[in-house]
Amino acid sequence: IYRPFERGTVAWINGLRMTMAEQYAAKAPKIFRNAPELIQKSTDFYGAYVSRATGRGTLGKADAIAVPLGQVFFSLRSALSKPEAIAFANPMNLLDPAKAPVAREAALDFAWFLGEGMTALYLADKAGAKVGVDPRNSDFGKIVTPGGLHVDLWGGLSPLARAVVQGALDVA
């Protein structure tokens, strides 16, 4: 039962990556119409962003030993991909003309992600659910069910969402 599910998941995520890459490749010539030499560099940078945004992080020089590390650490590349994807929104990337469109898209993706999560939390709060709204609390961004189950809307990104909100509100 496990193997067919795994293959289906891998096929789906690879299809998603391919669709995202094709969409960027189609709009890159329009973005860089005055600098066609930047298309390949930007497309490669976008491919790296797509990999990170879809859970395929990099271990840098340790990539060669990823399989043995996987025996000790559960889903190490996926865990690393979350902060790596957000790092593409680094304002320094805006200074490089080939990276700037990708940096803007990464920032927009993360802003949408935060906005959707905050909207869901607001709606849950208005519906009477117990919601963690204090960014200094580890329950921030979580809905607590009457049975005590903590539902994390942001999955593995809740610590990053919490850090962004703390920074925006200047609280720690």
**pLDDT at position 7, please?**
85
pTM reported for the whole predicted model: 0.77
Q: Nearest-CA neighbor of 163 among 143, 130, 138, 132? A: 138
Question: How many other β-carbons are positioned within 10 Å of the β-carbon of residue 28?
Answer: 19
Torsion of CA 159, 162, 168, 172, to 10 degrees: -90
> How remote is the C-alpha of 70 from its chain's centroid?
21
pLDDT in tens, 127-156: 888 998 888 888 888 998 888 888 888 877
Rounded to 5, what percent of the chain is helix, strand, coil?
A: 70, 5, 25
Sign of CA dihedral 12, 18, 20, 22: negative
Instruction: Return d(Cα 134, Cα 116) in angstroms, integer.
Output: 18
Kindly state the DSSP code that residue 129 receives in the 8-state scheme. -
pLDDT in tens, 5-63: 778 888 988 898 999 989 988 988 888 888 888 999 999 999 999 999 888 888 888 88
- Per the CB < 8 A criterion, the answer to whether 49 and 88 are in contact is yes
Q: For residue 113, is pLDDT > 70?
A: yes
Strand 130-131, strand 150-152: pairing: unpaired
